[in-house]
Structure 1
Amino acid sequence: MNRLLVAAAVAVVVAATLVAVVLTRPGCSLEDTLDVAPSATVSAAGSAPDLSSWELYPGPAFGVPRVHQVLSAADIDVIVSVRDGGGALVSGHPRGDPRPRWSVAVPGSGIRLALAGDRLAGATLHEGARVFGLDVRTGADRFCRSLGEVAVPGGFVAPGGWIPLAITGDAAVTAWTDDVDGPTVAAVGLRDGTPLWSVPGGGGALHGMDGGVLTGAGVFHRAADGAPAPGTGGERVVTAAGRTALVERDDELVALDAPTGTPRWAVPLRGRGELPGTVSAGDVVVTNDYADDDGRDSLRGIDLHTGRILWEGAAGSVAGRAQQILVADGGTVWAAGRHELVRLDSRTGSGTPVRTGVPGLRELAVAPDGRVLLRLGDDLIGYTTR
């Protein structure tokens, strides 16, 4: 009897070990790294732009080497940094605290994150395509799903050095070139990583929309099963909102119904800079274009539904080729140039630029609770409304 019990116990242990290996898979797990999370308090004095005219006040600044991406959720900031030896560290900092509440190591290259409520989703390449997820406030409730082998060893990444990722409804969607099936778009459940669908397709960036996801090449995939719809016909997609895709076609900015490709309106583009220069802010499209013939740099607000020009005007060093950042936050648009930051009302274009005096502004993230996180080189400064 004892031998039978011992044998049964051994069998259980072996089975549990096998299950653990299958579930975690080497290279597809998220490891706690609080002990090595890169954070160091530095003085914000003299380095933080003065945003007090907007009733925003800086907290302590902290340095994180080799920052890759920053996101802000309610009461917590998420920072992605390149890790020594490969991969990345993802850490959650309560309201700009330099001491992380949680930190995990993510293997692979080209990591990209997206937020939806309390869920953080990410995509990366590590011996294949991976999608992972966790609770943004605690770093717990994790999954990591391997989707397929990548055709280009060493980590092919999309333009801009990141893996396409979008959230639509309760699904996280990514794209890569599979070793067997070629260009592929696939979705997993946002909560637990359950595979939902995988279909042929690709085309750069992904845009989450009502009822599906739109590829950078203009193909709309339905959220339910990934089935492709006519989409926009292959034009360069610059942004999307609701069911509307904004594409560049023959020096025009064209709005189309994404699932059907039906045109809605078009406005002429006078030119554009090298960085992304079109965002949707509520029911307004804000685009950064300029005219070479008279040297005028400006931002313009366009009604998303009708294409009517709501406003346009010169914006100094935050427009034209000098534009560095363009971020939408509901009905507000943040634009930054080399030395200026402006916060605009998307319906009217009204706003007062702030001279930052800091040339190293690299990224801006806005949290649902109104906090603003600025990245200045490898320093991050969180602003609150007090």
Structure 2
Amino acid sequence: MSPEDMTRRTFAFWGAVSLCSVMGLAGCQAGNGSDKGDEESHRCPSLPDAGIAAGKPVWPVPFSGLRESLSLTGPWLFGTGPDHVIWLRDARSGLLRWRTSTGSAPNWDNGGQPHYPQLLTADGLVLFGGGNGDTTSEVLALCASDGKTMWRRKVPGGPVFEIAGSGDLVAAATQSHIFGLSITTGEILWKAGAQQGRWMKTCDDTLILVNQLGRKFGATGLDRRTGETLWSETISDTSHLDFRVDGDLVHVIGYRTTEQKQDDGTTVMVGIPGKVRTVSTTTNQVVWARTLPPLAGTSPLASNGLLHLTAGERLLALHGRSGKEVWSFPLPVPETNPQMLLHDDLLIANFSAFDGSSSSVRGIDPKTGKEHWRQELGGISGMLAGPSGLALINTDARKVTAIDTAGGEIIWSTPMKGSVQIVAGDLIYAHDGEEISVYDVSTGNTL
């Protein structure tokens, strides 16, 4: 399976972010977080020096990792891959600033599975660990400015499935536990039980994650400072569970299926009524709960006090604090699984038939459900937000189409090398499994 096919979060919008706010101003001192105890003491500057974009762009550049192996932070692009070599490039020109081997790359040339690690940036550090196929059971912190190792921590009970930044902590999930590590030293500060913890996200001082035990999926809120369980909601007989955060509300969404026998004796999985429970991180109590018609596998959206999702043959909006229906309408294409994004005060939804016979993108008022515009396109594989006034559509024909969010008109449509991974400022970053290519967002032309 190619890295492009395995990408868990292929489409994501990373706006132009202040490097100071994301990476911190204080700098950091290498701690004694290594189990080996032999990491060199190193004073890490708070930020890399000024960008080096004055040179001629060198795109495309090699990259064999997944989307979660990239981190765009201000004018800098960090990346890694199965070779466990971490690099820093100028985000505009692609020129290489530094390149560091972690020294832990697995030998998978003889039939083993490659490891696609996660990469995060926080507090002047690059954090490496977790991801698909981890064989290291380690979390590693490098100085973002020069790539020097700050600390290395072997996590008990590995492999590490996922890592997540959480204030002054790094959370690391293994098969049966979540560990809270000091972001400064790598020291293990706490351990909490959680079976197959995934999709960790911080909401204020609550670390939220999905965990699974058999056919019981649950969402759990931990105190990120101590690891204490604040709340836990389990939904039985679920095939999948997801959550969305909006302010102090966590919407826990359980997708449920059952086997159904067919006339020819075979069985297929069919949807049965799903469940939604909403938890307040202020009170750690369930605010409301609803059973809805079978929920589609599309990603729900939660923002500005509303929860948007597909239930049965309808697209609907629920009031975030009460669960009451605000609006709904029948899906224009039966048995479809619409993709949705919120951008420019619009709910932009793609309604594509599974057989590819029809496909349209529509701009909808998220508060009322009123349709503002629609654009008929070919098969669509994904959508993502661009700069203000622009949405980008990836088609099955490996084309990217830019749509004006004000009226739905096509601004440009052009082939690109791979699927779009990141949009930042005036640049588009696309990846085909082997290289990263960069394009101008206003024209679709290569940089």
Q: TM-score, normalised by structure 1?
A: 0.63
Q: Secondary structure at the match of 2:411?
A: coil
Q: Deviations over 1:24-55 (max 9, x none)?
A: 597xxxx99xxxxxxxxxxxxxxxxxxxxxxx
1:250 correspondence with 2:250: no
Q: Secondary structure at the match of 1:186?
A: strand
Question: Hey, what does 1:354 align to over in structure 2?
Answer: 413
| Aligned 8 A contact 1:302 1:310 in 2 | yes
Query: How many residue pairs end up in the alignment?
Result: 306
1:148 correspondence with 2:148: no
Q: Secondary structure at the match of 1:289?
A: strand
1:356 to 1:65, Cα distance in 2 relative to 1, 3 A: same
Pairing partner for 1:265 from 315, 327, 348: 327
Q: Percent identity?
A: 13
Question: Hey, what does 1:333 align to over in structure 2?
Answer: 391
Report the CA distance between 1:238 and its aligned residue: 1.9
Kindly report which structure 2 residues correspond to 1:1-386, keeping only aligned pairs within 5 A, or say none: 59-69=58-68, 70-79=70-79, 81-82=81-82, 93-95=89-91, 96-100=94-98, 103-106=126-129, 107=138, 108-111=159-162, 124-125=173-174, 127-130=176-179, 147-151=191-195, 156=196, 163-169=198-204, 171-177=206-212, 183-189=218-224, 193=225, 195=227, 197-201=229-233, 204-217=241-254, 218-231=276-289, 233=291, 235=295, 238-269=300-331, 270-271=333-334, 277-290=339-352, 295-316=357-378, 322-329=379-386, 331=388, 332-338=390-396, 339-356=398-415, 358=417, 361-367=418-424, 369-383=425-439
| Aligned 8 A contact 2:171 2:178 in 1 | no
Report the CA distance between 1:99 and its aligned residue: 4.4
Amino acid at match of 2:242: A
Amino acid at match of 2:433: G
Q: Distance in 2 between matches of 1:353 and 1:77?
A: 26
Q: Distance in 2 between matches of 1:304 and 1:372?
A: 26
1:351 to 1:82, Cα distance in 2 relative to 1, 3 A: same
Q: Distance in 2 between matches of 1:98 and 1:297?
A: 41
| Aligned 8 A contact 1:278 1:286 in 2 | yes
Q: Secondary structure at the match of 1:198?
A: strand
Amino acid at match of 1:328: A
Structure with the bigger RCO (C-alpha within 8 Å, sep 6+) is 1
| Aligned 8 A contact 1:302 1:309 in 2 | yes
| Aligned 8 A contact 1:372 1:384 in 2 | yes
| Aligned 8 A contact 2:420 2:430 in 1 | yes
Q: Distance in 1 between matches of 2:428 and 2:185?
A: 27
| Aligned 8 A contact 2:307 2:318 in 1 | yes
Question: Hey, what does 2:23 align to over in structure 1?
Answer: none
| Aligned 8 A contact 1:94 1:100 in 2 | no
Report the CA distance between 1:63 and its aligned residue: 1.9
Report the CA distance between 1:356 and its aligned residue: 1.1
Amino acid at match of 2:373: W
Question: Hey, what does 1:45 align to over in structure 2?
Answer: none
Report the CA distance between 1:129 and its aligned residue: 2.7
1:214 to 1:196, Cα distance in 2 relative to 1, 3 A: farther
Q: Distance in 1 between matches of 2:182 and 2:79?
A: 15
Q: Deviations over 1:105-131 (max 9, x none)?
A: 3244543668x9x99976643552346
| Aligned 8 A contact 1:204 1:215 in 2 | yes
1:168 to 1:93, Cα distance in 2 relative to 1, 3 A: farther
Q: Distance in 1 between matches of 2:181 and 2:403?
A: 35
Q: Distance in 1 between matches of 2:80 and 2:281?
A: 28
Q: Deviations over 1:41-95 (max 9, x none)?
A: xxxxxxxxxxxxxxxx9652322334252343322334464567xxxx8766442
Report the CA distance between 1:298 and its aligned residue: 0.8
Report the CA distance between 1:329 and its aligned residue: 4.2
Structure 2 gaps, min length 5: 1-30, 41-55, 100-124, 130-137, 139-158, 235-239, 255-275, 442-446
Q: Distance in 1 between matches of 2:315 and 2:413?
A: 29
| Aligned 8 A contact 2:179 2:191 in 1 | yes
Report the CA distance between 1:363 and its aligned residue: 4.1
Report the CA distance between 1:311 and its aligned residue: 0.8
| Aligned 8 A contact 1:232 1:260 in 2 | no
| Aligned 8 A contact 2:180 2:191 in 1 | yes
Q: Deviations over 1:255-307 (max 9, x none)?
A: 00123101111122114766x71111132111111357993311111101111
Q: Distance in 2 between matches of 1:182 and 1:345?
A: 40
Q: Distance in 2 between matches of 1:241 and 1:371?
A: 26
1:25 to 1:194, Cα distance in 2 relative to 1, 3 A: farther
1:364 to 1:75, Cα distance in 2 relative to 1, 3 A: same
Q: Distance in 2 between matches of 1:120 and 1:342?
A: 40
Bigger mean CA offset, 208-217 vs 234-243: 234-243
Q: Secondary structure at the match of 2:60?
A: strand
Q: Secondary structure at the match of 2:59?
A: strand
